[in-house]
Structure 1
């Protein structure tokens, strides 16, 4: 018969083993990500990293929160309401010019999807073809990068009829020949309605500007290097998984925003792969960032975007969090 002492020791061991089976070695860190707009496949990498447990493996308990017309991700992160945010690189640069203290820890869209959209029947295949045509624009990212592209391509801006208008309807009704656009979603919206489209992407003409830039505060980055490295590693794995399992990724995004058009989201995700993967990501990993490219964007924004003030770009860009480092 087992003695009372040995029984108690056995019970203690079983109890400890049982607890170790259900309790993590250490509590996961609560982290929040504020995306730049409403949930769609532009965020497929973060969604899949969450769905497949990549953030959990990195010791991160992540919450993903939508942006929107009245929610500025840079302001939310700068004020401490969210840990990380995503946005166009211009938003981080303008934010710091206005006194925010943000740092860039990654960039998931190596090519910025801001550009020019036209119907294929107009025959606009290169920037020079816009001479003699009517181009609709609104102030902001696409127009800033479009101006830089047209200048780089030697387009005579006096020969381009520029009008301030928005919406795909201005193309559909023939009011204009082309419009500034985000070329991973707006062309798809036309294509599902039966229109053939053509696009011009400034990144294809040497205009460097990241999108889906991931940022946090300088103070948080200084104190949480391991967490950020884990976050970026999980995010890169999420994007890789999303492109390898596109139907699953689209379904996961639709579950979070059922109002999206499934066919449009499917086509958009397929287009995004060319914007996320590059020669740089082959070397440095998905969502990597380079100081020189952010510096290029800074000069573009000072020339065409109205950015004022001096910024310390090397101090803002944290290449040490590149997954390939």
Structure 2
């Protein structure tokens, strides 16, 4: 599979330098992690007593999961108390993460706020327990010859939009004083080829996807981020049921802790996560190191913000929780911060280990 064909495949899921100090910090984490769960003994989170962690990814084994790859390679899951970790890749044909959590085939995973609210509306009780991306990667991608830089530039244009993203496009337009009738919407098949051929003026895609493949084929993409124009929502969110949050706090905190360590290491040395993706965890996908490096750098920009640098990776401020709920409501997905978020596990991890808040 070529870089470009994989980049197209990648977009079908709408959705990524260790030091002695990091390892030492994890080593002293274990006793505090184990002490936070009612009914759990103090040595539950040691010597593999937490058993195997079945971890469901939201997407394929590419650089989206660089942090967990490092956490596995460096033994962070084992040091946190798990005997081993099993990564379960997602993708277009995969069973959803929420279904796996509900039926017990996974104990830990990553989903999206939209999916979580939808499941809760149908009787489930899931909560966001942390967020990788502090803003939405959705963007309108155009080419420099006919750039689309602001929402006003969309008027009269032809834009390719997937069926899954039509509610987001409609909401984004209305939020910026436009209507669907102000432009022409055509189907998007997750391939930037029609943009290159001049058949459309722009495509709605993740900024971590098509812009990278376009650059690698010699094009000059222009990226208009939704998040730059009044659109505020998190995504790539860690999820757990309220029942699991209540009963299995030790396991969930240990998993979050290991991932925090992995993500910190990935941010400190992005090439490490990209190399592990290409050479080990995603080897069967035949990925390009340059492509995965570029994707990792772009993904890190969504994780590393002034708020997460202050409060810690994966945290979500109360203000961003409210903004996320308001933005989701624009797409017809209604919830409240208390029905969508429970950051108590993450707060406990950082309260017990404030040294992990500060990035390298």
Specify the TM-score bucket, using the shorter chain as the normaliser.
0.7 to 0.9
Question: Quick check: 1:228 aligned with 2:252?
Answer: yes
Report deviation, 1:311: 4.3
Structure 1: gaps of 5 or more residues: 1-23
Report deviation, 1:150: 2.7
Residues 296/98 of structure 1: CA separation in 2 closer, same or farther (3 Å cut): farther
With 156-165 and 73-82 compared, the bigger mean Cα shift is at 156-165
Note the 1:135-284 alignment, pairs <5 A: 135-140=159-164, 142-166=165-189, 167-254=191-278, 255-258=280-283, 259=285, 260-284=287-311
Question: Quick check: 1:45 aligned with 2:67?
Answer: yes
Paired residue total: 298
Q: Distance in 2 between matches of 1:273 and 1:26?
A: 31
Indicate if the aligned counterparts of 1:119 and 1:195 stay in contact, CA closer than 8 A: yes
Report deviation, 1:295: 4.5
Report deviation, 1:291: 5.2
Report deviation, 1:316: 3.6
Structure 2: gaps of 5 or more residues: 1-45, 352-360
Q: Distance in 2 between matches of 1:121 and 1:44?
A: 35
Question: Quick check: 1:62 aligned with 2:89?
Answer: no
Residues 316/43 of structure 1: CA separation in 2 closer, same or farther (3 Å cut): same
Deviations 1:206-244 (A, max 9, x none): 322222101122111101223322222221221111122
Q: Distance in 2 between matches of 1:271 and 1:174?
A: 26
Indicate if the aligned counterparts of 1:291 and 1:314 stay in contact, CA closer than 8 A: no
State the TM-score, normalized to the length of structure 1: 0.84
SS in 1 for 2:208: coil
Deviations 1:39-59 (A, max 9, x none): 111111111111112222211
Indicate if the aligned counterparts of 1:148 and 1:207 stay in contact, CA closer than 8 A: no
Q: Distance in 2 between matches of 1:236 and 1:204?
A: 27
Deviations 1:181-205 (A, max 9, x none): 0111221111111111111222222
SS in 1 for 2:145: helix
Report the aligned-residue RMSD: 2.1
Report deviation, 1:121: 1.8
Q: Which residue of 2 aligns with 1:18?
A: none
Q: Distance in 1 between matches of 2:108 and 2:322?
A: 21
Question: Quick check: 1:33 aligned with 2:60?
Answer: no
Residues 25/67 of structure 1: CA separation in 2 closer, same or farther (3 Å cut): closer
Indicate if the aligned counterparts of 1:105 and 1:216 stay in contact, CA closer than 8 A: yes
Indicate if the aligned counterparts of 2:47 and 2:81 stay in contact, CA closer than 8 A: no
Q: Which residue of 1 aligns with 2:130?
A: 106
Residues 163/82 of structure 1: CA separation in 2 closer, same or farther (3 Å cut): same
